[in-house]
Each structure stands twice: as C-alpha cells, then as structure tokens.
Amino acid sequence: MDAMAPTEPTLRERKKLRTRQALIDTALRRFTGQGFDGTTLDELCADVEVSKRTFFRYFTTKEDVAMAPTQDLWAAFLADLETREPNGSPLLGLLQDALLAALDRMSAEGWADRVLRSRRLAADTPSMNAHGLDFCDRTTRTAIKILEERFGFDPHDLRPRLALDVVVAAFHCALEGWTFQSGPAGRDGLAIRLREAFCAVPGIITMTVPQPVTRSPRQEFPGTPRTDD
Amino acid sequence: MDAMAPTEPTLRERKKLRTRQALIDTALRRFTGQGFDGTTLDELCADVEVSKRTFFRYFTTKEDVAMAPTQDLWAAFLADLETREPNGSPLLGLLQDALLAALDRMSAEGWADRVLRSRRLAADTPSMNAHGLDFCDRTTRTAIKILEERFGFDPHDLRPRLALDVVVAAFHCALEGWTFQSGPAGRDGLAIRLREAFCAVPGIITMTVPQPVTRSPRQEFPGTPRTDD
DNA sequence: GAACTTATGCCACCGAGTGGCATATTACCA
DNA sequence: TGGTAATATGCCACTCGGTGGCATAAGTTC
C-alpha cells in the first residue's frame, strides 16, 4: 500500500522532524528575545521538553541550531552544482545561476523569516558569526571538489576558487543589505539583492579610487543614512 | 627624562611582553604536539607558570593565542590603508599593494614559522578556523570604514566591499598553497604566492568552463595526485 | 621607604559539551 | 497479537573553557 508512495516517513522520523523544528523555532525565539548568551541550553531544552543530551543528538553546537536555515540553502546550492549543465558559459555565471536556483528552491514556510532572525543574531554574537563563516568555508571547499570532479579543473588553478569566493562574498553583501536595510522582504527580496550584487562584480576589477581627497580626520558625512559604531 | 626617547618600555611592560610571547610559543608547540583539543589551558598555564586567570587577561579565548601572528599582519594592513596614497589607480591595486606592504613589514624573528604552525592547526581544528575567519571578517569591516572615511565611498556601493573580499580570498588561497604545498618557504615565499594569486584575479570574470564533460558518476581520474574523502 | 597603581593568584562558580548506561518508544516479524 | 530487535531518549557524573570577586604581590612614584 505504500510501496512507491513518497509519503511514508515513518512515525519515528516524523517525530524527529517535529522536535528538530521545535528546537530551531524555540531557539530563534528565545535567542532573539533574551540574546544568544542570555539563553542557556537548559532553558531551551526545558521549553521544548527535551533533555540537553538529546539536543546534542540533533545539533552539534549551540550555534548550530540557529543556523539551520542558511545551511539548507547551501545544501541546495551544492546539489544544484552536481547536475547543472555548463554550455560553454563563463564559470562565474554558472555559479551565480546555481545560487539563484538554490535560493529559488527555499520554499519552506517561514524560511526567509528564520534566516532574517538568524542573521540579526549573528551580527551581534561573535561565536555565531564565526561558525557561520566556517560553514561557508567548508561548503566552498566541497563545491570546489565538485567542480574539479565534474569539469576536471586543475587543482592548482586558483581561478575557480576565487570565482566561488566572489560569489559567496556577493551573497554576503546581499544578505547583509537585505537583513539590515529597507527594501523588499522575503525570499524574493533577497533574490533581487543577490542579482544586484552579482551585477557589481565586474566593477571589482575596474573601479578606481574616486580622487585623492584629503580631509580632516574627524570629518563626517552630513547626511549619512547609517550610524557607525 | 623619558619624553621623547622611544627606548623606554618599563620593566612591567617588558615582563608582560615576555609572558605573552611565552604563552604564544608554548601554545603553538603544545597544540602542534598534542593537538588543540588535546591540550588543556591548565597544562599550558602550568607550563608557562601562569594562572589560568592571567591567561585570559592576555587572550580572549583559547583559539586567540594561536592566531596572534596572523593578527599582526592584518593590523599592519589596516595601518597601511590609513595612509596609502591613491594616485587615481584602481582600488583593487591599492588594496593589493597595501597587503603586500603589510606582509613586507612582518620582519619579526620566526614570524613565518609561527604562521605556518598556526595555519596547519587551523586546518584540522574547526573552532580555530572559525575564529580566524571571524577575525578576517571584522578586519574587512574595519577596512571598509577606513576606505569610506578616507575616500568618501558610498556605503551602498558594493564594489569596495567585494574588491576587499577578493583580496582576502586571494590571500587565503596564497596562504593555503604556501602552508600545504611545496615551494619557497618563509615570508618571501608567501609573498610570491600572494602575487600569483593576485594575478589570477582578473580570470575570475572571464574564465569559462572547460567543456561539457559528461562522465559516469563514480568514475575517477586515473592518476589523481590527491585523495578525496 | 611609604603610598599608590597594577598585575597576578586563588577560589568558587556557570554553562557548553561528552560518555555511559538504563529505560522508553517505535519498528519488525512470527 | 504478542514478543523481540532497533533506536531514541533521559539521567548522571564529569571535563574543561571562561568569568567575577577579592586578596596579595610586584612595580612605580614621590
């Protein structure tokens, strides 16, 4: 009766999925409310009615639970890279398309909102930011392996690695703008930002320094829209 | 009596410098020998004959002590950025020159060797790698502020940020090659690698995917020089 | 050499993360 | 349906990174 139906996650697996999601949601809520450091795992676990030991069977670290949404995106990116067909196109374009496609696949309810909370947290929680960057770094290395495997790039050629790093950098730019500045919200808003960031990439090479402006050290812009700390 | 003489670090300051350096050296030695996680701070402190409490007055985290050498380089980079004169040159070139100049200033005895140990450690210690990346990230943000302050870049223009990220990415490429592959050792060897990485940057935009190679999924290269896990 | 400043040591404490083992829950099969 | 294997969870004790508070020692200044 269930031989070929894809709708058969066993009861056990459904429960696991539910506790996992409960941990993520509760964590993001408490972290946002009381701060990351201000929340102990004991509190969180008591809230979800799960032992601390169990928490660490779902997530490797306290930071990990808050970064699940972003990790989903990168997983989709890697999956896309495995199959995407290059038609003699520039590598950079291929990578950009792959990331946009991955983003397009993030259709889970409330995904964008979770990413938003997660990023805002990371912004003022050093250890979260650090772990996020480390995850990106590992993902990048995996992606390079996929590229070398599929297309036979020379491991000593630095260009694929650099191209990938540029795409990641553009993503971070987009993410930061989307997280902290006004503009279209939701996943599609992020996609717009991402496209804009990609457009800025060629300017990396050509951009020149405006002019040798020599100003007094402490002078500030009259109407700078953001405060710097 | 000491108004203008630069040669007057008080006894106290000399002692502090010595304990700091002792902690760094001993840490790198023990970490390399027994592994990062295999070394407790109690051991390290007992070795240097310093209380654990004192350790944390010198370094913020256990990871921090092992990353001091790299941090010196980035500090020099920021200092250079503060004063370097742009002559209508491309921003990218300015940043590259600044980093090369900073590297050139790393003349402390054994600096290159400490960086080498540090990087090798970071390669198989996730938390060290994470903290290193986080430090780079913070440095990048500081650098951006300096650039905006000095040259009046528009904070919404993504190109400066991307250019900076490319330079950092190139540095990481160079560092990794220098750390794990054969080639000229020492600071100058790293400088050579760095120049090579910079040369590869324009290729980011133009590089194309070799050809639509379609191979059976599990096939491998006959004589691939490295094993993939 | 006294008085002040500052670095250090010591101690108790919190919280993240782990290993081991008993128990409860689910899956599988006769 | 009942019994057994597989696995998820809870509980407990423990290690270790990191912090706050306070007393003491060392260096500095007059």
In 3D space, the residue among B165, B144, B78, B92 whose CA is nearest the CA of residue A208 turns out to be B92
**Nearest C-alpha in A relative to B138:** A126
Tell me if B43 sits within 8 A of B55, measured CB to CB: no
- Residue of A153, A172, A203 with shortest CB distance to B159: A203
pTM passes above 0.75? yes
Q: What is the pLDDT of residues A32-83, one digit of tens each?
A: 999 999 999 999 999 999 999 999 999 999 999 999 999 999 999 999 999 9
- Please, what sign has the CA dihedral across residues B107, B112, B114, B118? positive
- Residue of B158, B205, B228 with shortest CB distance to A205: B205
Torsional class of B135: left (φ above 0), alpha (ψ -120 to 50), beta (otherwise): alpha
Which class for B170: exposed (0-12), middle (13-18), buried (19 or more C-beta within 10 A)?
buried
Tell me if A164 sits within 8 A of A94, measured CB to CB: no
A127 closest-nt by C1' vs CA: C16
CA distance A140 to A164: 7
CA distance A168 to A162: 10
Q: How many CB atoms lie within 10 A of CB B103?
A: 20
Superfamily name with CATH number, domain A11-60: Homeodomain-like (1.10.10.60)
**Nearest C-alpha in B relative to A140:** B169
Phi, psi for B90 (deg, rounded to 5): -60, 145
Which DSSP category does B225 fall into?
S
Distance from CA of A72 to the nearest CA of B (A): 19
Q: Which residue ranges make up each domain of chain B?
A: 11-60, 67-201
Which DSSP category does B108 fall into?
S
**Nucleotides of strand C under 7 angstroms from a protein beta carbon:** 6-11, 14-20, 26-28
Q: Do A213 and B150 lie within an 8 Å CB cutoff? A: yes
What's the pLDDT at A129? Answer: 97
Q: pLDDT 10s per residue in chain B (229 long)? A: 434 445 567 878 899 999 999 999 999 999 999 999 999 999 999 999 999 999 999 999 999 999 999 999 999 999 999 999 998 899 999 999 999 999 999 999 899 999 999 999 999 999 999 999 999 999 999 999 999 999 999 999 999 999 999 999 999 999 999 999 999 999 999 999 999 999 999 999 999 997 655 544 444 433 334 433 3
**Nearest C-alpha in A relative to B61:** A127
CA distance A50 to B86: 59
Please list every residue in chain B whose beta carbon sits closer than 8 Å to the beta carbon of residue A203. 159, 162
Beta strands (DSSP E) in B84-225 are: none
CA distance B60 to A177: 30
Superfamily name with CATH number, domain A67-201: Tetracycline Repressor, domain 2 (1.10.357.10)
Residues written for chain A: 229
CA distance A103 to A70: 10
Q: A86 has which bridge partners?
A: none
